[in-house]
Amino acid sequence: MLSNKTKIHGWINFDKPAGISSAKALAVIRKKLNCSKIGHGGTLDPLASGVLPIAIGEATKTVSYVMDSEKNTNSQ
């Protein structure tokens, strides 16, 4: 059976606005790109805005390698 899912592989640096969760951001991107495999490099607080690294397709296999560092946050 052929899949209608888009075959996109790679990373997106998503500028997540305050007011949505990381899971909601993934759901929106999954729907827009019509892809099935998607994951993020770490949860941002729903009240925080900032860069949310998102892996798509085969890139999801690299999340643990790429995100093997500390998360830095700034508040105002």
Q: Which residues are the active-site residues?
A: 45
Compute CA distances 76 → 15, 38, 43, 73, whole Å.
17, 31, 19, 10
Compute CA distances 21 → 25, 34, 47, whole Å.
6, 20, 8
